[in-house]
Amino acid sequence: LSAVPQARRASLARFLERRKERVVSA
């Protein structure tokens, strides 16, 4: 994962977290 640039890692973490929220609220 260290090869994944910081910007993408942050975006990915945010995407996964929001996806969890969408699933929970659905």
Partner 1 sequence: GVGETMPFFNQESLQQRLQALIDGARESWAYAIFWQSSSTSDFATPSVLGWGDGYYKGEENKNKRRASSSSANFVAEQEHRKKVLRELNSLISGVQAAGAGSVGDDAVDEEVTDTEWFFLISMTQSFANGNGLPGLAMYSSSPIWVTGTEKLAGSQCERARQAQGFGLQTIVCIPSANGVVELGSTELIFESSDLMNKVKYLFNFNI
Q: Which residues bind partner 1 (CB under 8 A)?
A: 1, 4-20, 22-24, 26
Task: Give the closest residue to 23 by CA, choosing from 15, 6, 5.
Answer: 15
Smallest distance, partner 1 to C-beta of residue 25, A: 11
Q: Which residues contact 1 (CB under 8 A, 6 or more apart)?
A: 9
Smallest distance, partner 1 to C-beta of residue 21, A: 8
Smallest distance, partner 1 to C-beta of residue 12, A: 6
17 neighbors 24 (Cβ within 8 angstroms): no
